[in-house]
Amino acid sequence: MYSRKSSAGNIRFNNSYGNLGTIASLTFSQKQALNLSWRLLKPQASACFRKIFLELEIASPKVKQIFYKAALVDAFNKDDDNSATLEVHIKLTTKFFDELLATLDDENEFVAKIRGIGSAHAILAKGSNFSSDIWERLGEIAMERVCSHEVVTKTREASRAWRTLIAILIDELRGGFEGELRQHRKSSSTDQIEMGKVEDEEELHSKLQQLRMDYNQTLPYT
């Protein structure tokens, strides 16, 4: 089983949802603490998320390479924001937490929103070697940065709530990523099988034609 303890606490990131609890397990006061602390943290969110992503770049050269490539592409394309750049990731993460905290009372929407983000990153697995361990490292860094922020450490409820939220967040991101990755592999495998069938049929057809030609050549002339 996959598990690791964060340096910021005894929260585990794994694929066993039972060990994490669910967002429904948060008490009313913890949900209140999350929303209140987020309102206070939001003005400083960009700086906080920047530190998290920069630390992730150091911990994972793959991530640094992805952001670097995105920045190069973005330099030549000024029409639209490139969602793969570091700067846009920071903006989107802030918006993501706004939307996520608004769904604390709807677990289905909460989980679907997170898994959608995770699955969207599966495309990076092939071309950029993005892997599940990156989610784990992101979780450890986020736990360290967010849960040590003065806004969060003011109350025990907020600290506990953020630890739970980040643990579930990383688990669902990873779940969405790995689920989509399995679908890609399954689809790729099916395509290869179908391609193999076509090639086998073409080879069989070619051999039958050759046999027919060989047979015709052995017939006596009349």
Q: What is the mean pLDDT of residues 106-135?
A: 94
In the chain, % of residues over pLDDT 70: 71
Q: Which residues contact 133 (CB under 8 A, 6 or more apart)?
A: 60
Q: Which residues contact 21 (CB under 8 A, 6 or more apart)?
A: 164, 168
Q: Could you report the per-residue pLDDT of 147-160, keeping only the tens digit for each?
A: 999 999 999 999 99
Alpha-carbon torsion (136, 141, 146, 147), positive or negative: positive
In the chain, % of residues over pLDDT 90: 62
Binning pLDDT at 50, 70 and 90, where does residue 9 land? very low
Q: pLDDT at position 124, please? A: 92
**pTM (two decimals):** 0.75
Q: pLDDT at position 73, please? A: 77
CA distances (Å), 122 to each of 20, 132, 178, in order?
Answer: 23, 10, 7
The structural domains of the chain, ordered by start, are 17-183 (1.10.490.10)
Binning pLDDT at 50, 70 and 90, where does residue 13 land? very low
Q: Is the confidence at residue 137, as pLDDT, over 80?
A: yes
Binning pLDDT at 50, 70 and 90, where does residue 127 land? confident
Q: Which two tokens stand for residue 83?
A: 């969602």
Q: Is the confidence at residue 2, as pLDDT, over 50?
A: no
Q: What is the 3-state secondary structure (H, E, C) of the chain?
A: CCCCECCCCCCECCCCHHHHCCHHHCCHHHHHHHHHHHHHHHHHHHHHHHHHHHHHHHHCHHHHHHHHHHHHHHHCCCCCCCCCCHHHHHHHHHHHHHHHHCCCCCHHHHHHHHHHHHHHCCCHHHHHCCCHHHHHHHHHHHHHHHHCCHHHHCCHHHHHHHHHHHHHHHHHHHHHHHHHHHHHHHHHHHHHHHHHHHHHHHHHHHHHHHHHHHHHHHCCCC
| C-alpha closest to that of 134 among 158, 118, 146 | 118
- Does residue 38 or residue 216 have the better pLDDT? 38
What is the crossing angle of helices 156-218 and 132-147, to 10°? 170
Q: What is the mean pLDDT of residues 175-179?
A: 96
- Does residue 7 or residue 215 have the better pLDDT? 215
Q: What is the mean pLDDT of residues 77-90?
A: 79
